[in-house]
């Protein structure tokens, strides 16, 4: 039997982007290539990716409930993203929104390493998270569940709602498709990367993780692109940064099951290039 909607709201409290595959300094012409889905309840108010009025150099969607974001980039090349760590109904009663960490990094000036070090003393104020923060010099991964800070080396990575590169079926499948595209594409085809984010393949039962939800919900959450009556993929994003500093950011937003989505595209050159 599925948990109640209230139980799900509690367990998935302030949920953020739930699938990210990215190539960091792997492709000779692109320091960063990323494809990601953000999953959320359909009734949570959200704005599409745009340059914010209060921080004009910051490009991101916005959670209108708490004011943070799940992923974004600035004109100077600061980048950040967050996913939640799925752990059933184990959650703080009044946690801070994890999306505020992303916003705070993007609007700040600290190096990625300094910022992450500053998060650690107050990491317990948040429910479980995976955080990526970077600039043109480095990219760092940190989770308050593993408590391991990783300065990422060149390579291809996958992240969902467990730790970095945990081989959940949708992470493995999406990373394989992603790798095939970028290895055979120069320039990289953004439309092909977008297509892999719409994959609704459900994992076999014996491949499903056990994160404290019912079998029905584990099945639904195992797809790269999630569709249920109340909860699902709200945004699919592809980001490219090339060696000349040209940024291409495409986001397709969805308001509910059956919505074909609306697409926004942004293109700019990083300052200093």
Cα distances from 104 to residues 81, 110, 229, in angstroms, run 11, 10, 33
Element (H, E) at 261: none
Q: Confidence band (pLDDT; 50, 70, 90) for 185?
A: confident
pTM over 0.85: yes
Q: List pLDDT tens digits, range 218-269.
A: 999 999 999 999 999 999 999 999 999 999 999 999 999 989 999 999 999 9
Q: List pLDDT tens digits, range 69-83.
A: 999 999 999 999 999
Domain positions in the chain are 5-269
Q: List pLDDT tens digits, range 27-72.
A: 999 999 999 999 999 999 999 999 999 999 999 999 999 999 999 9
What is the reported pLDDT for 273?
76
Average confidence (pLDDT) over 201-209: 96
Q: Across the chain, what does the average pLDDT equal?
A: 92
Q: How many Å apart are CA 48 and CA 51, to the nearest integer? A: 10
Give the residue with greater pLDDT, 16 vs 50.
Answer: 50
What is the reported pLDDT for 3?
39
CATH superfamily, domain 5-269, is: Penicillin V Acylase; Chain A (3.60.60.10)
Query: Which stretches within the chain are classed as H helix?
Result: 5-11, 99-107, 112-119, 169-183, 190-196, 215-221
Strand ranges (E), the chain: 19-27, 30-41, 46-51, 58-63, 71-74, 79-84, 129-134, 139-143, 149-151, 155-159, 231-241, 246-253, 262-269
The DSSP secondary-structure symbol of 186 reads S
């Amino acid at each position: 039997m599925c948990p109640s909607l209230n139980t799900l709201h509690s367990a998935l409290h302030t949920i953020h982007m739930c699938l990210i595959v990215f190539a960091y300094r792997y492709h000779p012409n692109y320091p960063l290539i990323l494809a990601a889905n953000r999953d959320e309840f359909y009734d949570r108010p959200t704005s599409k990716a745009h340059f914010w009025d209060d921080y004009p150099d910051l490009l991101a969607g916005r959670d209108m409930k708490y004011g943070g974001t799940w992923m974004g980039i600035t004109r100077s090349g600061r980048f950040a993203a967050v996913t939640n760590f799925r752990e059933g109904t184990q959650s703080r009663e009044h946690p801070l929104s994890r999306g505020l960490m992303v916003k705070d990094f993007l609007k700040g000036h600290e190096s990625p390493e300094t910022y992450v070090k500053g998060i650690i003393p107050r990491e317990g104020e948040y429910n479980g998270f995976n955080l990526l923060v970077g600039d043109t010099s480095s990219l760092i991964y940190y989770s308050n569940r593993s408590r391991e800070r990783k300065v990422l080396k060149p390579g291809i990575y996958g992240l969902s709602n467990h730790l970095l590169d945990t081989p959940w079926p949708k992470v493995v499948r999406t990373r394989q498709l992603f790798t095939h595209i970028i290895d055979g594409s120069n320039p990289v085809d953004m439309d092909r990367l977008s297509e892999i984010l719409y994959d609704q393949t459900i994992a076999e039962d014996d491949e499903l993780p056990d994160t404290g939800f019912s079998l029905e919900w584990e099945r639904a959450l195992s797809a790269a692109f999630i569709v249920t009556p109340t909860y699902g993929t709200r945004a699919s994003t592809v980001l490219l940064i090339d060696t000349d500093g040209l940024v291409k950011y495409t986001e397709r937003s969805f308001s509910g099951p059956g919505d074909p989505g609306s697409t926004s595209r942004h293109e700019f050159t990083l300052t200093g290039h």
